[in-house]
């Protein structure tokens, strides 16, 4: 935990002052069954807002709409649904996304342009707008409603992902995320909503978010597939009453640390709850010539099907880790590589060393598996998170729509 940062018990996206949320079952997913699948998150005042979106060239309607609306850097609320991605539906999809925003705006009494939209689920089907129109009045917004919304955005997730921290700087940052499969952000069916009551300069807000995403969400991988709907949104309403945080100001470092901590917690939660996963993998690549090399090698290792399969079977096949690093494109020299699994060194200077195989298997049997690769080429370091590859992952994704 970073100095000056305290996790809030049962914290979430509505922990910062001035935010409320609520959700209902609109019957969007599960063939009309009334389980939570439609929600609204709002601030009681207009917020400075920044977002990072999928780089997939096939983009869902909400992504297109939100990019346009966030050009002015303001937002007050988000309406979100699971069960339907509203992707690849042409003009119909854009019209439905705009109507969702208008319906939410009318319900809470703000301008439609102040509302953003987020959807997640199957690509292709159109939103059941008649169900959404009927369900919105059933949403009750409250300071405790963040937990409902965190469940409403789940698809193949098995648990909601939410947290909040209080900074010694006098502000709170909260967040929630969803994501289980199609996770390899290059910002994955990944959505993340972050809120803060800090007063933050708009330019710094965007820069801080990009920095946080780069070292957290952009360092997780479940299956190498990116999504059409990825979005990480950060809204700041200024209710903490502190001086405006700007680049280089006294509060900038504390804000970045707190934001990084929230994003890191949520990113690790996504990796742990990956589709079919039985283990979370943490790969740290150190002593790299550059941060780019460290990131490239770590992401390649954590996303390697062979590494993921070996971890699933607790097979100490360390050669797969070196092979993945070698094809990653990172600058490295084979005879300088040192590798440890679960804290046990298995390779020194590119060659195997004597180790107790039973101890490595025991380390691989754990719920969290750590792999550390030192390139011994510089001072840069990066950490990536992923999961093992199980038969259940194939089962889930072979019958997702059937």
CA distances from 392 to 122, 180, 271, 356, 385 (A): 19, 13, 15, 30, 19
Number of H helices, E strands in the chain: 11, 15
Cβ–Cβ < 8 Å for 279, 389: no
- Of 272, 299, 319, the domain-final residue: 272
Query: How many domains does the chain fold into?
Result: 2
Q: Do 325 and 264 share a structural domain?
A: no
- Say which CATH number the domain at 329 has: 3.10.20.340
Q: Do 297 and 267 share a structural domain?
A: no
94-139: per-residue pLDDT in tens? 999 999 999 999 999 999 999 999 999 888 999 999 999 999 999 9
Q: Do 147 and 11 share a structural domain?
A: yes
Nearest to 195 by CA among 51, 44, 16: 16
DSSP state of 96: H
Q: Do 338 and 318 share a structural domain?
A: yes
- Of 238, 254, 272, the domain-final residue: 272
- Say which CATH number the domain at 59 has: 3.60.70.12
Question: Annotated catalytic, 189?
Answer: yes
pLDDT at 199: 97
Residue 183 has pLDDT above 60, yes or no: no
pLDDT at 224: 58
Residue 1 has pLDDT above 50, yes or no: no
Q: Do 61 and 153 share a structural domain?
A: yes
The highest-confidence range among 173-182, 192-201, 390-399, by mean pLDDT, is 192-201
Domain limits for position 173 = 5-272
Q: Do 394 and 265 share a structural domain?
A: no
pLDDT band at 274 (very low <50, low <70, confident <90, very high): confident
Contacts of 50 (CB under 8 A, 6+ apart): 70, 73, 202, 205, 206, 209, 233, 234
Residue 334 has pLDDT above 90, yes or no: yes
54-71: per-residue pLDDT in tens? 888 889 999 999 999 999
pLDDT at 391: 78
- Bridge partners of residue 345, in order along the sequence: 340
Q: Do 224 and 195 share a structural domain?
A: yes
Residue 184 has pLDDT above 80, yes or no: no
336-389: per-residue pLDDT in tens? 999 999 999 999 999 999 999 999 999 999 999 999 999 999 999 999 999 888
pLDDT at 187: 45
Q: Do 294 and 258 share a structural domain?
A: no
CA 248 to chain centre: 27
- Of 272, 307, 325, the domain-final residue: 272
Q: Do 338 and 377 share a structural domain?
A: yes
Q: Do 130 and 29 share a structural domain?
A: yes
pLDDT at 190: 77
CB burial of 29-67 (b: ≥16 within 10 Å; e: otherwise) equals beeeeebbbbbbbbbeebbbbbbbbbebeebbbbbbbbe
Q: Do 175 and 115 share a structural domain?
A: yes
Q: Tell me the percentage of the chain whose pLDDT exceeds 70.
A: 92
Q: Do 308 and 257 share a structural domain?
A: no
Catalytic residue among 163, 189, 196, 383: 189
pLDDT at 275: 72
Cβ–Cβ < 8 Å for 136, 38: yes
């Amino acid at each position: 935990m970073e100095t000056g940062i305290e996790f809030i018990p049962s914290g979430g996206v509505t922990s910062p002052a001035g935010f409320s949320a609520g959700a209902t079952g609109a019957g969007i997913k599960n063939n009309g069954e009334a389980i939570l699948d439609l929600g609204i998150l709002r601030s009681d005042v207009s917020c400075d807002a920044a977002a990072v979106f999928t780089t997939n060239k096939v983009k869902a309607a909400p992504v297109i709409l939100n990019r346009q609306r966030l050009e002015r850097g303001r937002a007050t609320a988000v309406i979100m649904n699971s069960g339907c991605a509203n992707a690849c539906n042409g003009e119909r999809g854009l019209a439905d996304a705009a109507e969702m925003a208008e319906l939410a705006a009318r319900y809470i009494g703000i301008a439609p342009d102040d509302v953003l939209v987020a959807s997640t689920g199957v690509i292709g089907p159109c939103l059941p707008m008649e169900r959404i129109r009927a369900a919105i009045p059933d949403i009750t917004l409250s300071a405790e409603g963040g937990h409902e919304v965190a469940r409403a955005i789940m698809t193949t997730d098995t648990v909601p992902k939410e947290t909040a921290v209080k900074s010694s700087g006098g502000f709170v940052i909260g967040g929630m995320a969803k994501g289980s499969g199609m996770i390899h952000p290059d910002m994955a069916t990944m959505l993340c909503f972050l809120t803060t009551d800090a007063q933050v300069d708009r330019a710094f807000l965007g820069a801080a978010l990009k920095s946080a995403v780069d070292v957290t969400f952009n360092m997780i991988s479940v299956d190498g597939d990116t999504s059409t709907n990825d979005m990480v949104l950060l809204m700041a309403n200024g209710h903490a009453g502190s001086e405006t945080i700007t680049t280089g100001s006294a509060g900038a470092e504390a804000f970045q640390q707190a934001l990084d901590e929230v994003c890191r917690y949520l990113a690790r939660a996504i990796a742990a709850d990956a589709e079919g996963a039985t283990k979370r993998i943490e790969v740290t690549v150190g002593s790299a010539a550059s941060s780019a090399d460290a990131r490239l090698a770590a992401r390649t290792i954590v996303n390697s099907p062979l590494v993921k399969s070996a971890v699933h079977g607790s097979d100490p096949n360390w050669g797969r880790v070196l092979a993945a690093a070698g094809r990653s494109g990172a600058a490295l020299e084979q005879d300088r590589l040192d590798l440890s699994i679960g804290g046990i060194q298995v390779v020194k200077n590119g060659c195997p060393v004597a180790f107790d195989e039973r101890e490595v298997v025991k380390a691989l049997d754990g719920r969290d598996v750590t792999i550390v690769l030192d390139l011994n080429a510089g001072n840069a370091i990066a950490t990536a998170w992923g999961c093992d590859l199980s038969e259940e992952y194939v089962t889930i994704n072979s019958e997702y729509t059937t």
